[in-house]
Structure 1
Amino acid sequence: MSVGSGSRVRLRPKARADVLDATLDGRVAVVDSVEQDESGAIQLAVTLADDPGRDLGEAGLPGHRFFYAPSEVEPLGDDAGRARVLVAGVGNVFLGDDGFGVEVVRLLASRPLPAGVDVVDFGIRGMDLVYALQRGYDSVIFVDAAPRGERPGTLTVLEVDPADPHLCAGVASVETHGMDPVRVLRLAAELGPAPRRVLILACEPATVPSGGPDEDLVTDLSEPVRAAVETAVDLAGELARDLAGRPAASPSDAPGRASEDPELEQTGGGGRR
């Protein structure tokens, strides 16, 4: 099977001469370019599929771009026609329950998921997420803590229409303290093509410190939010598998419309209802 620029591969370094090779063994990567070294040998320049700083690797910066021989990668096949899904965990781990999304994607990343599903912890790196949304994903699932007036620990799945002109119209920046996924989505749409299907898996927080200068940092989730994490991991996995099973959208397809009832599913206290 041929491999070229844009191919998705699994890294299989043969030498595993150092800790980096051992760490990258088995990771999914995207071939950025095919190059020739000084000896004339072919080398594949790759970036990790789940690296939120992939744009840095594509720009040639070290630490985000790696080189392997063709024999050290395992082609993952032709993904043409397969939907690509991004599961994006956002939040600040130093603000208590605001770290919910980060914890969910950390656990989800260790579970088997279909090809084409990338699970990435973006934390509070809003611009990294904006750039990631430009990489041809058909769908995105934001995982975040969001106060909606529900009982703490309640999980809600919302679908929003990225084509809605009232969706944070005129937003031109992204806050780095409290990253709002909808603002990120709007900015991404202003810069270029964005995912056509957008879901938000939100958890009702118990407490979220403001992060003021006189306030202590809180690195632990509250009890009701912690109890909802495993259910959220299962639910995010179900949503990702469902979206990955749909055919990829063609450029001529119209953006999907939001559901008339945006609350697709709700759970509370870590359990489904």
Structure 2
Amino acid sequence: MNDGSGDGADRMVGMGFWARMERRGPDVVTIAGRPVRSGSRVRLRPSALGRTDIMDLVLDGRVAVVESIEQDDEGAFHLAVTLDDDPGRDLGEARMPGHRFFYGADEVEPLDAPAAQAPGTRILVAGIGNVFLGDDGFGVEVARRMAALPQPAGVDVVDFGIRGMDLVYALQRDYDLAILVDAAPRGEAPGTLTVLEPDPAGGPSGAQVEGHGMDPVQVLRLAGELGRLPGRVVVVCCEPAMAPAGGPDEDVLVELSEPVRQAAGQAVRLVMDMIAENAGPASRPPHPEGGDMT
């Protein structure tokens, strides 16, 4: 006679397994006296354990970026990494095989500062928009201009375009501040800049993001549901001269309107000032007073 106790035990084991699967890994681990966290750079050393797998031989000595830290039931740490020079690195951030790899803590060599040195402020500047829809490409243009300027350590400037899921995964890293730059109609004069601090927790849960769509609010909600958000999120908006309708027959327009192009230069200065306020005045590079930063 089966009293069901076996089934109950199986259910408890299953519940324990899924609870472990949903548990977040540690934010930081110390390897060779250095802190390693999401965003840290490491050199892969699988040869340290004598591994001779063909992929390990190819990756041995390569520089990688830690995407996440996991810990198994026995307490061992495992690092999910993407290659620093991989042109498809965003695919690794999106959990695509062939661009994301796992290594043990004893198979990597930390390249960041020693633990005795306090880590600096980590800031993400995310350019958002569709360059084929005119003024909607405002955020992408700002990211392009900023990428040509020297940035302090810990500041990443990335053109995400319309890749919403890529931004979701990037927000899972340990950024102190994320500055999203986007075009958004708010009823102002074309070229008007507005700084917003959205509440990612607001609105209904269960947010969904299209792989090739970008709604900053939905992106922030989904990133929060996945378990991690920067300490502060700011959105720098620009009023477009013409907002895209988003229809399939919409004309391709690759140039910004004149007021939005001028606003792009102002936005660069604004974002650089935000970076300086959070990373220190020494991080502010010189720029022409009143000029258009190109």
Give the unaligned 5+ runs of structure 2.
1-31, 65-82, 102-108, 282-290
Per the alignment, residue 20 of structure 1 pairs with none
2:72 is equivalent to residue 61 of structure 1: no
Aligned Cα RMSD in Å?
A: 3.6
Equivalence for 2:84: 48
Residues 92 and 177 of structure 1 are in contact (CA less than 8 Å); yes or no, is this contact kept in structure 2?
no
Letter aligned with residue 105 of structure 1 = A
Higher radius of gyration, 1 or 2: 2
- In the alignment, the residues of structure 2 paired with residue 176 and residue 61 of structure 1 have an alpha-carbon distance, to the nearest angstrom, of 19
Q: Percent identity?
A: 51
Q: Is the 8 A contact 1:52 1:129 kept in 2?
A: no
User: Which one has a larger percent helix, Structure 1 or Structure 2?
Assistant: 2
Which of the numbers 186, 202, 212 marks the counterpart of 2:237?
202
Q: Deviations over 1:178-214 (max 9, x none)?
A: 5121210111000111112011111000113323222
2:46 matched to which residue of 1?
Answer: 35
- Cα gap change, 1:234 to 1:136, in 2 (>3 Å): same
Give the Cα–Cα distance (whole angstroms) in 2 for the partners of residues 174 and 195 of structure 1.
Answer: 19
1:224 alignment partner, SS class: helix
Moved more, 220-229 or 30-39: 30-39
Check if 1:190 corresponds to 2:201: no
Please say if 1:152 is aligned against 2:190: yes
Q: Which residue of 2 aligns with 1:224?
A: 259
Choose the corresponding residue for 1:93, options 123, 128, 131. Answer: 131
Deviation at 1:174, TM superposition (A): 1.3
Letter in 2 for 1:55: E
Asked whether the 8 Å contact 1:3–1:75 carries over to 2, the reply is no
TM-score w.r.t. the length of structure 2 is: 0.63
Contact kept in structure 2, 1:141 and 1:200, CA below 8 Å: yes
Deviation at 1:218? 1.1
Partner of 1:180: 215
Check 1:115–1:86 CA distance in 2 against 1; reply closer, same or farther (3 A cut). Answer: same
| Greater RCO, 1 or 2 (C-alpha within 8 Å, sep 6+) | 1
Range moving further from structure 2, 224-233 or 28-37: 28-37
Moved over 6 A (4+): 2-5
Correspondence for 2:277: 242
CA contact (8 A) 1:84 1:137 kept: yes
- Separation of aligned partners in 2, 1:238 and 1:210: 33
Q: 2:165 aligns with which of 127, 133, 142?
A: 127
